[in-house]
Copies of this chain bind each other. A is one copy, B any other.
Amino acid sequence: MSCIPRLTIMLRACGYRMTSQRHAILQALHDGGHLSPAQIYQRVESTGMTEATVYRTLEFLAENGILLVADRGNGHLAYELSGESHHHIICRTCGAQMEVDPALLAPAISQMESETGYHLNAGHLTFFGLCPLCKQKPQERA
């Protein structure tokens, strides 16, 4: 993917380094979308990388804004490349999910800002609910 060189420069500007491990994890997320640490490890295991390195690298990349952390509702976290801003909606019944335009929340957020005095980072939220299908037939679908 073409963003590796850009990220390399960005990291070096902060005194950090681009390593083969970071490269492999970024690549895995590039063609994997939202992935859990375990899923990512599967995809980079062949390089000999340690699980500890996967966790460390994900935390590092997230802290530096290169990755976004997402709540999957199962208590565990997922990671993804931080591209265009967005939020998520997940169906509590069937797990279906979709992305949401952050513009929909903008007015609510700016109102929260003016009422609380906080400066909010719109961020990357996850909303839970029922998808159109599960809204009808209450129980079906695992």
Contacts and interface: CB of A to CB of B under 8 A. Distances in A.
- Chain A interface bracket (under 10, 10 to 19, 20 to 34, 35 or more): 20 to 34
Contact of A118 (B77, B116, B131): B131
Given A100-B112, A112-B104, A129 B125 contact: no
A105 interface: yes
Contact of A104 (B98, B111, B123, B129): B111
A119 B130 contact: yes
Contacts of A84: none
Contacts of A105: 105, 108, 112
14 contacts: A75-B77, A89-B112, A89-B120, A91-B118, A98-B116, A100-B116, A104-B111, A105-B105, A117-B131, A117-B132, A118-B129, A118-B131, A119-B129, A121-B129
The 7 closest A-B pairs by CB, nearest first: A120-B129, A108-B108, A117-B132, A119-B130, A118-B129, A105-B108, A119-B129
